[in-house]
A and B are shown apart, each in its own frame.
Chain A
Amino acid sequence: MPKALREIYGEVLRDVGRENKDIVVLDADLSGSTKSAIFGKEFPERFFNMGIAEANMVSTAAGLAAGGKIPFVNTFTVFLTTIGLIATRGLVCYGNLNVKFGGAYGGVSAAYDGASHHALEDIANMRALPNMLVICTCDENSTRQATEFAVKHNGPVYLRLSRETFPDLYQAGESAFEFGKAKIVRDGTDCTIMGCGIMVHHALQAADILAGKGISARVVDMSTIKPIDRDMIERCIVETGAIVSAEEHNIIGGLGSAIAEAMATMDVHAPMEFVGTEDTFTESGKYADLLKKYKLDPETIAAKAEKAVSRKK
């Protein structure tokens, strides 16, 4: 039975906390939801519930990091990457401090809570900060390995998580996450769909739809959004000639933007289409219904892929 990404993350925090006594965890009155409470239960002396005070939480984490600790800050990512942003930019990133950001409830996964709680600009906010690494994984094993990477890396890391349970993509023991390296999870020759998070799974379904139409789609898991894997982008442009980005995020400033920025400075180019929310606020609803209504579904990815292929010269 696959587990929710937040659950896996909470368990990894506890596991790495057993090995490394410098790991400290902070939350802003949402530890039951972010699952940081799993760590807090075992290590109450290294767990700080800051109350509903995200700015204070990130500033405190900056100080803990300067004091040699490895703080993980946690809350709904829509608040972490907005209310927490001033300290993230001005202290953590400017100071290149060793703070890790657990972004629970990425995308529209806070479904019924509505637009106020959906995080669709977080990747843009975090990606634009010098020194910040941005990671968005798609299953249990990749989340586990990305969280372990965050502990080892010295510097700020943003892990974009989800409230939801995603299907397994990688087997246990397999290398499911390599920092800075995208992974081809299905090969194809006519176009490449580059996705992150839940959209990797939707891209695989889109590839099935496209196969039925005689289009061979490659699917790439772009779990590291920053720094973006330029070599993989270049290779896919050359080998497939069309690119589609797919993310549970505004099409402005996220994964698609990162890919397009990279391609613009390459000697090879390909037609590109973007799948994501189209610069709009969302609404309350069931997660699956929201993914459909806001065009984050396999059908939309397939349609955009067809369009990208049709634009080839």
Chain B
Amino acid sequence: MNKLRLTEERIAQLTDKARLFRIDVLKSVHQVQSGHPGGSLSMTEILTVLYLEKLHINVNDPTDRDVDHVVLSKGHGSPMLYRLLAEVGYFPKEELMNLRHINALLQGHPTNHIPGVDMPSGPLGSAFGAAQGLALAQRLDGLDRRTYAILGDGEINEGAVWEVAMSASKFKLDNLIAILDYNKVQLDGTNDEIMPLGDVPEKWRQFGWNVIECDGHDIVDVNRALDEAIAAKGKPNMIVAHTVKGKGVSYMEGKAAWHGKAIPDDLMKVAMDELGGEM
């Protein structure tokens, strides 16, 4: 855990890493013509700061209990999760170019056969409760560790999410840190078109959570929000990260159509040009 302010140099470094992660993730979904670019790009900075600044993990010993856990409850964002897992050393980043291939390691949605993945996910809404379970286990073991759960805004349509909203509050589970990738777009359309969410931060507050809002694409602000959540006591934490679906690629930004669409070669070229990558 690093509570120090990020130096200008580190901010520049993380910013550039986020750019490179976007490039690698787009390449991984482009090579297989399948996967979810929109919701991977929107949580780039969230996962970058989480994995590279905050997490206490043990890459060499999966049985070590004295670690932080991450549950990617919006499992379709797996390509970006995998890129970060490769960055911290769970497997070579070249594996991303075999994403979704038969007989390969990296599945369309996370599973715990993959090094660094603590919980399978894919059925939206279900894995959030598992994050609560991991956090309870950490507390029972008396560990000063946290469990992070990353949710999509469409995902919180699921009733199961609101069951956790109540129970984690009942259990005063302050080592549970949920992060909502609030990009305002789901699959068939925007939240407003498909399922209006109302005042999201206020809803979580009313459920008894410590709610922190941030700009989910600003490294410094994401860092601040995580620090506040880590320091807070007595309530479960919900970081509402305001993001843009498809962030970083002009034609994808804010568009439901790029939720899970294959990227044709010509548009891949445009994306690489915008991000400063090579085909």
Contact = CB atoms under 8 A, between A and B. Distances in A.
B109 interface: yes
Contacts of A112: 32, 34-35, 100, 108
A285 B195 contact: no
B123 A82 contact: yes
Contacts of A82: 123
Interface stretch (A48-56, A91-99, A266-274, A305-313): A48-56
A291 to B, nearest CB: 11
A27 B109 CA distance: 22
B193 to A, nearest CB: 8
B187 interface: yes
B58 interface: no
A27 B187 CA distance: 12
Interface in A26-49: 27, 29-33, 37, 49
A285 B100 contact: yes
A116 interface: yes
A49 B157 CA distance: 11
B108 A117 contact: yes
Contacts of A52: 124-125, 154-155, 157-158, 186-187, 195
B252 to A, nearest CB: 16
A279 interface: no
A79 B34 CA distance: 20
A290 B102 contact: yes
B188 A32 contact: yes
Q: Interface size class for chain B? A: 20 to 34
A32 B260 CA distance: 11
B186 to A, nearest CB: 6
A53 to B, nearest CB: 5
Contacts of B155: 52
Chain B interface, >50% SS class: loop
A31 B104 CA distance: 30
Q: Which of A50, A51, A83, A115 has the most CB of B within 10 A?
A: A51
Contacts of A33: 187
Contacts of B170: none
A11 to B, nearest CB: 19
Interface residues of A, number: 31
Contacts of A113: 34, 108-109, 122
A17 interface: no
B188 A49 contact: yes
A49 B190 CA distance: 12
Interface string A273-301: 00000000001111001100100000000
B181 to A, nearest CB: 14
Interface string A171-195: 0000000000000000000000000
A289 B104 CA distance: 13
B187 A29 contact: yes
Interface string B114-148: 00000011111100000000000000000000000
A181 B101 CA distance: 39
A114 B159 contact: no
A116 B123 contact: yes
Nearest to A292: B102
B123 A83 contact: yes
Contacts of A290: 102
A82 B158 CA distance: 13
* Residue in A52, A55, A82, A293 whose Cβ sees the most chain B Cβ within 10 Å: A52
Interface centre among B101, B108, B187 (most CB of A within 10 A): B108
A30 B259 CA distance: 11
Contacts of B111: 114-116
A53 B125 CA distance: 9
Contacts of B106: 284
A254 to B, nearest CB: 21
B254 interface: no
Given A29-B187, A283-B107, A114 B157 contact: no
B154 A114 contact: no
A53 B188 contact: no
A33 B186 CA distance: 13
A284 B154 CA distance: 24
Nearest to A289: B102
Interface centre among B35, B157, B188 (most CB of A within 10 A): B188
Contacts of B195: 29, 49-53
B102 A285 contact: yes
Contacts of B194: 29, 49, 51
A116 B108 contact: yes
A289 B157 CA distance: 34
B84 to A, nearest CB: 19
A52 B157 CA distance: 5
Contacts of A56: 159
Contacts of A51: 154, 157, 186, 194-195
5 contacts: A29-B187, A29-B194, A37-B188, A82-B123, A83-B158
Which 9 A-B pairs give the minimum distances between C-beta atoms?
A: A116-B122, A285-B102, A51-B195, A51-B157, A114-B108, A112-B34, A52-B157, A114-B107, A113-B108
Given A113-B109, A284-B101, 12 more contacts: A31-B188, A32-B188, A51-B157, A52-B125, A83-B158, A114-B107, A115-B107, A115-B111, A116-B107, A283-B103, A284-B102, A290-B102
